Amino acid sequence: MLLGLAHAVSCGTGRDRAGPPDPHADALARLRAFETARRDQTDFRTLPTSDEILGPDPVAIRRLPGSPLLVGVLRGRSAVVLLDAELQELDRARTPASPTGLAVSPAGEVFVSGELEAAVARYAPSGGRLLPMGTIPVDGVHSIRAMAYGPEGILHLVEDHDHRLLTISLTGEILDGADSPIGLGPRIVVRTAGYVVVNCVLSHEVVVLPVDARGVPRREAAVRIAQNGPFWAIDAVEVADGLLLAMGGVEDHPLDRRQGSFGYIDSFAYVYRVSGTPPTAQRVVALNASALGVVTPKVVSLSADGGRVHVRLVMEARLDDGRAVLADPLLDAWVVDEGRHERVVPVADAGAVPARSLESRVGEALLFTTLIAPWNRTKGSVSRFTCETCHFEGYVDGRVHDPGRGDVRVTTRPLLGLFNNRPHFSRALDPDLTAMVHNEFRVAGLRSRHDPWFAIGTAQAPWLAYLGVGPEPLSPEMLRRALMVFLMEFTHRPNPAVLGRSVWSAEERRGAEIFRDGCEHCHEARLVTNRPDSRVPFGEWERLTMTRQGPIVWARDTYEKTGVVPYVHEAGTRVPSLRRLYKKRPYFTNGSAADLDDVLRRAYVSHGSFLHETATPGSLDGASRAALRAFLDLL
pLDDT digits (tens, 9 = 90+) for 376-398: 999 999 999 999 999 999 999 99
- Give the closest residue to 70 by CA, choosing from 323, 350, 340, 341: 323
Q: Is the peptide bond before 137 cis (omega within 30 degrees of 0)?
A: no
Q: Do 159 and 582 contact (CB within 8 A), yes or no? A: no
Chain Cα centroid distance, residue 174: 27
Q: Strands, DSSP E only, in 472-567?
A: 559-560
Distant-in-sequence, close-in-space partners of 634: CB < 8 Å, separation ≥ 6: 495, 497, 498, 504, 508, 545, 546, 550
- The H or E element spanning position 275 is strand 267-275
Q: Rounded to whole angstroms, how far apart are CA atoms 86 and 100?
A: 23
- As separate numbers, helices (DSSP H) first and strands (DSSP E) second, the chain gives 9, 32
- Give the closest residue to 411 by CA, choosing from 631, 599, 597, 550: 599
How far is the CA of 344 from the CAs of 297, 321, 337, 568, in angstroms?
18, 17, 9, 45
Q: Residue 615: its pLDDT value, please? A: 65
- CATH fold match for the domains 25-49+355-489 and 506-632: yes
Q: Rounded to whole angstroms, how far apart are CA atoms 157 and 147?
A: 4
Q: Rounded to whole angstroms, how far apart are CA atoms 401 and 379?
A: 21
Q: Strands, DSSP E only, in 425-466?
A: none
Q: Residue 10: its pLDDT value, please? A: 45
Give just the sign of the alpha carbon dihedral 518, 519, 522, 525. Answer: negative
Distant-in-sequence, close-in-space partners of 462: CB < 8 Å, separation ≥ 6: none
Distant-in-sequence, close-in-space partners of 434: CB < 8 Å, separation ≥ 6: 28, 31, 32, 35, 480, 484
- Give the closest residue to 155 by CA, choosing from 206, 110, 185, 90: 110
The C-alpha angle with vertex 273 and arms to 267 and 276, in degrees rounded to 5, equals: 155
One-letter amino acid identity for 448?
S
- Give the closest residue to 481 by CA, choosing from 434, 446, 549, 524: 434
Q: Residue 17: its pLDDT value, please? A: 45
Angle, helices 25-41/476-489, rounded to nearest 10 degrees? 20
Would you list the DSSP string of 93-113?
EE-SSSEEEEEE-TT--EEEE
Answer whether CATH 2.130.10.10 is correct for domain 57-237+295-346. no
Predicted confidence band at 591 (pLDDT cuts at 50, 70, 90)? confident
* Per-domain boundaries in the chain: 25-49+355-489, 57-237+295-346, 506-632
Q: Rounded to whole angstroms, how far apart are CA atoms 332 and 325?
A: 14
Q: Give residue-wise pLDDT tens across range 57-73.
A: 999 999 999 999 999 99
Q: Residue 9: its pLDDT value, please? A: 36
Q: Rounded to whole angstroms, how far apart are CA atoms 424 and 60?
A: 33
Give the lowest-confidence range in 169-173, 407-411, 577-581: 407-411
Q: How confident is the model over 194-222, as a mean pLDDT?
A: 97
Q: Rounded to whole angstroms, how far apart are CA atoms 243 and 302?
A: 11
> Would the pLDDT of 48 be above 70?
yes
How far is the CA of 340 from the CAs of 315, 343, 461, in angstroms?
15, 10, 16
The CATH code of domain 25-49+355-489 reads 1.10.760
How far is the CA of 345 from the CAs of 157, 328, 480, in angstroms?
30, 10, 28
**Cα end-to-end distance, the chain, whole Å:** 15
Pairing of strands 400-401, 164-169: unpaired
Q: Give residue-wise pLDDT tens across range 261-282.
A: 889 999 999 999 999 989 999 9
> Would the pLDDT of 259 be above 70?
yes
Chain Cα centroid distance, residue 8: 16
How far is the CA of 600 from the CAs of 2, 87, 619, in angstroms?
8, 51, 9
Q: Do 267 and 213 contact (CB within 8 A), yes or no? A: no
Q: How confident is the model over 472-496, as a mean pLDDT?
A: 97
Helix (H, G, I), strand (E, B) or coil at 223: strand
Q: Which CATH architecture has domain 506-632?
A: Orthogonal Bundle (1.10)
The C-alpha angle with vertex 609 and arms to 606 and 614, in degrees rounded to 5, equals: 75
Q: Residue 607: its pLDDT value, please? A: 63
- Give the closest residue to 134 by CA, choosing from 94, 187, 81, 76: 94
Predicted confidence band at 608 (pLDDT cuts at 50, 70, 90)? low
Predicted confidence band at 242 (pLDDT cuts at 50, 70, 90)? very high
How far is the CA of 319 from the CAs of 67, 100, 239, 411, 525, in angstroms?
10, 22, 24, 42, 52
Q: How confident is the model over 429-458, as a mean pLDDT?
A: 94
Predicted TM-score (pTM) of this structure? 0.94
The chain-wide mean pLDDT, for the chain, equals 91
Q: Do 24 and 453 contact (CB within 8 A), yes or no? A: yes
Count CB neighbours of 353 within 10 A: 14
Give the lowest-confidence range in 44-53, 198-207, 607-616: 607-616
